[in-house]
Structures are given as C-alpha cells and as structure tokens.
Amino acid sequence: MRLMELKQKHLLGIEHLSADEIEYILQTAESLEEISKRDIKKVPTLRGKTIVTLFLEPSTRTKTSFELAAKRLSADTLSISKDASSFKKGESLKDAAKTLQAYRVDAIILRHSASGAAEFLSKQTDASVINAGDGCHEHPTQALLDAYTIKKKFGKINGLKIAIVGDILHSRVARSNIFCLTKMGAELSVVAPPTLLPVDVEKLPVKVAFGIEEVLEESDVIYLLRLQAERASENHFPSIREYRRLFGLDADKVKKLKPEAIVMHPGPINRGVEISSTVADLARSYIEEQVTSGLAVRMAVLYLLVGGSS
Amino acid sequence: MSKPVSVLLDKDQLKRALTRIAHEILEHNRGAADVVIVGIQSRGYFLAKRLSENIAGIESAKTPVGALDISLYRDDISTNPQPVLKKTEIDFDLTGKNIVLVDDVLYTGRTIRAAMDALMDLGRPASIQLAVLVDRGHRQLPIRPDYIGKNIPTAIKQRVSVELAEEAGTDQVTLVEADGT
C-alpha cells in the first residue's frame, strides 16, 4: 500500500518511523528537488508559517540547510544560537519552549548536546519539533538525506552492501543511519575499533568489522564518519596515525572498491584523518551530492510536518 | 454506494474532442510556433501529451509538453492534509511562449489559479491559454477556458469522473451522483 499522508507531528528520530514513512519522505523530496534548480528558487507553500532553528550546539551545515529549506518554502525563519541568546544566561529549554509557544511558532528545529532533548521539547510545545541532532541519540534528517543520496545513485537501497566506518559509539549519524538503512533493506556493516563500538553491538542488525580493509571489496557504499574530537577523547584509540591506517580511506585503499561504489561522509570532513584529500575530491565521493540532497529532504520534512493540518 | 448515471463522453467522442481542440489551438495561435503545452498532474498531463501528438499529426510540428504539479501553490494547504506531491517536469523555457495549460475538469477555478502562479514562477510567458476536457461550471474565480471538450452543467453534489487509458485502461467521462441520492 502506498502511503498518502505522514501521520507524525514531530520528527524526533528514525527508530519509530516505518519503511513506508521513510519512502514517502524520500518520494516527496524527489518532487521538491526541482525547485532549487529554478531561477526563482521559491514556492509559496509555507507562507505565514514561522519556523525556528534553535541550535544549542555548533553547526553550520545542518542549520544553513534547514534555514534555506524553510525559506525556499516561503516560511519565516528565526534563528537562535547558544552564544547570542539567553541560553548563555542559563535559560532552560523549557523556558525557551514557553517563549516560543507565546509567539505561536509552527516548528522548532532543535540541535542539542543532550540525548532526548528533542523529545523533551516536543512535550513542552504545540509546535512540530524536528530533531537536528541530540547528543549521541539521533540525527534523523542526516539519515534521510543519506538514504536519498544512495537511492538516487543506485535506484534502490534494498540489497545494497553499506559499511559505516568510524566512531559508531558516539555517533548519532551512525545510529540514525543504522535504523534507516536496515529498515530500507540494506545489508549493513559497522567498522570501528572495539572501543568505539556500542557494548550491545551484537544486538544491532549489522555485521561488525575491525578494519576498513575487510569491507572495501564488497561494499556499494563506504560511509565514513567524522572522528569527533569533541565526543571521543584520544583514549579510545592509540593515535590518529593508527586510526588513519586501520579506518581511514586513502588513494591506495580506494582502488579496491567496486567500480560503481561511492564514498559518503556527513561532513565536515577531517582531510587526512578519516578521508585523504585525494579521495575526498574523487568523482565517487558523494559529499557534495549529500549537501544537495539535504536541502530537498529537509524541504520535504518541513512540507510534510508544517504544511497541511489534519 | 455511488453509481454512474450517465456517460458524458465515450472513447470516440473524447478522441474527437481532443482532435478539435488541437485544431483550435493551431487556428488560434496561427500555427504551432512558440506554442508549448503544459498539463496539470496527472490527467491533465496525459491529455497534454495527446494534444501534442494531435498537433504533430496535423502540422507536423513538435510542441514541447511539460507536467505541472500545483500542490505547492494550493490555497487550502493549511486547512487540509498536505497533498501528495508529484513532479513538475518542464524542461524548456517558458519565457515568450504561448502556453496551453491543460486540465481534465474545470470546476471552481482554484486549481487553475494555482497553476498560473506556478507557471509565472517558472518564466514570463507571452500568454497562457486554458484547455479543459470538461467544463462543469460553478466557478469561484474569474477564470474561463479557451478550449473546451464538452460543457456539462452539473449540480454541486455530482461528480465528474474522468478515466483515461494511461491510468484506467480506458477512455471515458461519466457523471456520478453523490452518495445517498
């Protein structure tokens, strides 16, 4: 059965979405992508709606992408970041929710360092809450844009072999992607040092490998995670050099990939750590496509959650 | 249960109506130069493709055909559930062109208003003309069609059902009475 309506008020994570719902979001994004190719890159769909980006953790890409998506749909946008707001004075998320509630905003896009922050916020407000990354928990729109990019390249996700390489333990991108891609039928591997794998990794529907060499030949997609200095201390592995040797992708290793295989990365990339500069600039590196997809997918999410009332 | 009360256009009548409209388009525009045909998703697009084929059969001129989805321009977007988006695919420039906008049924005129706004965002056409298979009346906006397959006076309760071979396997237009009448 084809889904005709997304029965969700918020987008807090991928875990509770069905494969049909994910498919419906991707399909909507496909129709919206064309708008960004026009001379007039704007449609009047969300005229009169107010969308707030509340980013309490640094981010350029995700914030820019959401703001542009909202503007392309003609919504009014308001952006609040940690340094420039009363959060510096210690205002709580709850109080911020109350203030925004008084303005009757239609959606709040939240980035927060605490896992579960988006869910908490969704209980404090009538607005739709979109999780733009909460701690080590989820980053749903990243997973959706990755799925969109993969589907656009291969025409399907089902049956593809996808390896996620890097800090699986602290990565909300990895978590959301594991949920999303397995729901869509991909065969997933996670590649990481044992110290950067979740303790209950065997409960996840994924294969585990301890070096990137193990997955190079079989994979359709190599998904490299950023080595997150702010989350993982160097105690998790001996040295950057060793990490690069075992988990980084460089010009030599890339030669072992299938001709059609692509390389993805959520950005920002650490050139010379998880990905060498040469590899980042190859045609098979889909990092720029991911950014383009991100805009279309976020427009779709805003359209589906903020447009229409049911 | 709804039941069809009458067939308004059968397969042959529908075909003849589209042939006539193709002739009218050529007559009105003095040929097919600078004429482009844009159909509103989904049935308007099927009709647009057929009109373009008809025109090619008459004057051996190729008129470009595009598909327009008007969901993003609807005026009821914040009161109804979001419509399912289809693709807008117009891979030619609209500026300076005479656009023939095609839809299956003309009713309140709101869809056409949305379509005109959508077209204006895509370029600056020389003109927009409107072709519909069925005009059923009950306009709520000052919009009138230039080319009409068939005028059909209807009651608001009734429904005009257009089936086209591309999706329904057969060509037929019927008038359906509302439930319980």
Q: What are phi and psi of B30, to 5 degrees?
A: 50, 55
Say if B1 falls within a structural domain: no
Q: Give dist(CA A154, CA A261) in Å, integer.
A: 10
Is the CB of B81 less than 8 angstroms away from the CB of A309? yes
Task: Kindly list the structural domains of chain A, giving each domain's residue range(s) and its CATH number in brackets, ordered by start.
Answer: 19-139+291-306 (3.40.50.1370), 142-286 (3.40.50.1370)
Q: What are phi and psi of B16, to 5 degrees?
A: -65, -40
For residue B120, the distance in angstroms to the closest alpha carbon of chain A comes to 10
CB B173 within 8 A of CB B18: no
pLDDT tier at A156, thresholds 50, 70, 90 = very high
Please tell me if residue A309 touches chain B, with a CB cutoff of 8 Å.
Answer: yes
Which of B85, B117, B118 is nearest residue A31 as measured by Cβ atoms?
A: B85
For residue B166, the distance in angstroms to the closest alpha carbon of chain A comes to 19
Q: Which of A90, A128, A98, A136 is nearest to A110 (CA)?
A: A128
Which of B72, B84, B122 is nearest residue A45 as measured by Cβ atoms?
A: B72
CB A166 within 8 A of CB A174: yes
Provide, rounded to the nearest whole percent, the portion of chain A with pLDDT above 70: 95
Q: Give dist(CA B39, CA B46) in Å, integer.
A: 7
Q: Give dist(CA A181, CA A14) in Å, integer.
A: 10
Q: Which residue range is the domain that position B77 belongs to?
A: 12-154
Burial environment of residue B99 by CB neighbours within 10 A (0 to 12, 13 to 18, 19 or more): buried
pLDDT of residue A7: 82
Q: Give dist(CA B113, CA B31) in Å, integer.
A: 27
Residue B1: pLDDT above 60?
A: no
Q: Which amino acid is at A236?
A: H
Mean pLDDT across the stretch A117-145?
Answer: 97
CB A54 within 8 A of CB A26: no
**pLDDT per position as a tens digit, A9-50:** 999 999 999 999 999 999 999 999 999 999 999 999 999 999
CB B107 within 8 A of CB B123: no
Q: Return the bridge partners of A225, or none.
A: none
- Burial readout A239-275 (b: 16 or more C-beta within 10 A, e: otherwise): ebeebbebbbbbeeebeebeeebbbbbbbebbeebbb
Say if B76 falls within a structural domain: yes
Question: How many other CB atoms sit within 10 Å of the CB of residue B89?
Answer: 15
Say if B104 falls within a structural domain: yes
pLDDT of residue A3: 63
Which of A40, A73, A307 is nearest residue B121 as measured by Cβ atoms?
A: A40
**pLDDT per position as a tens digit, B81-106:** 888 899 999 999 999 999 999 999 99
**pLDDT per position as a tens digit, A174-192:** 999 999 999 999 999 999 9
For residue A82, the distance in angstroms to the closest alpha carbon of chain B comes to 32
pLDDT tier at A103, thresholds 50, 70, 90 = very high
**A–B: how many Cβ contacts below 8 A?**
58
What does the DSSP assignment read for chain B?
Answer: ---EEEEEE-HHHHHHHHHHHHHHHHHHTTSSTTEEEEEETTHHHHHHHHHHHHHHHHH-----EEEE--GGG-S-TTTSPPPPP---B--S--TT-EEEEEEEEESSSHHHHHHHHHHHHH---SEEEEEEEEE----SSS---SEEEEE----TT-EEEEE-HHHHSS-EEEEEPPTT-
Token match 């709520």: residue? B140
Provide, rounded to the nearest whole percent, the portion of chain B with pLDDT above 70: 96
B48: domain CATH number is 3.40.50.2020
**pLDDT per position as a tens digit, A245-287:** 999 999 999 999 999 999 999 999 999 999 999 999 999 999 9
Residue A206: pLDDT above 50?
A: yes
Residue A233: pLDDT above 70?
A: no
Residues of A in contact with B89 (CB under 8 A): 34
pLDDT of residue B142: 97
The total domain count for chain B is: 1
CB A71 within 8 A of CB A36: no
For residue A193, the distance in angstroms to the closest alpha carbon of chain B comes to 43
Please tell me if residue A199 touches chain B, with a CB cutoff of 8 Å.
Answer: no
Q: Which of A212, A194, A223, A203 is nearest to A248 (CA)?
A: A212
On whether the pTM is more than 0.95, the answer is no
Is the CB of B86 less than 8 angstroms away from the CB of A40? no
pLDDT tier at A81, thresholds 50, 70, 90 = confident
Token match 């959508």: residue? B118
pLDDT of residue B76: 86
Q: Give dist(CA A127, CA B162) in Å, integer.
A: 40
- Burial readout B146-168 (b: 16 or more C-beta within 10 A, e: otherwise): bbbbbebebeeebbbbbbbeeee
pLDDT of residue B3: 66
- Residues sharing a CB contact under 8 Å with residue A26, sequence separation 6 or more, in sequence order: A144, A147, A148, A151, A297, A300
Mean pLDDT across the stretch A294-305?
Answer: 97
pLDDT of residue A1: 45
Q: Give dist(CA B117, CA A265) in Å, integer.
A: 39
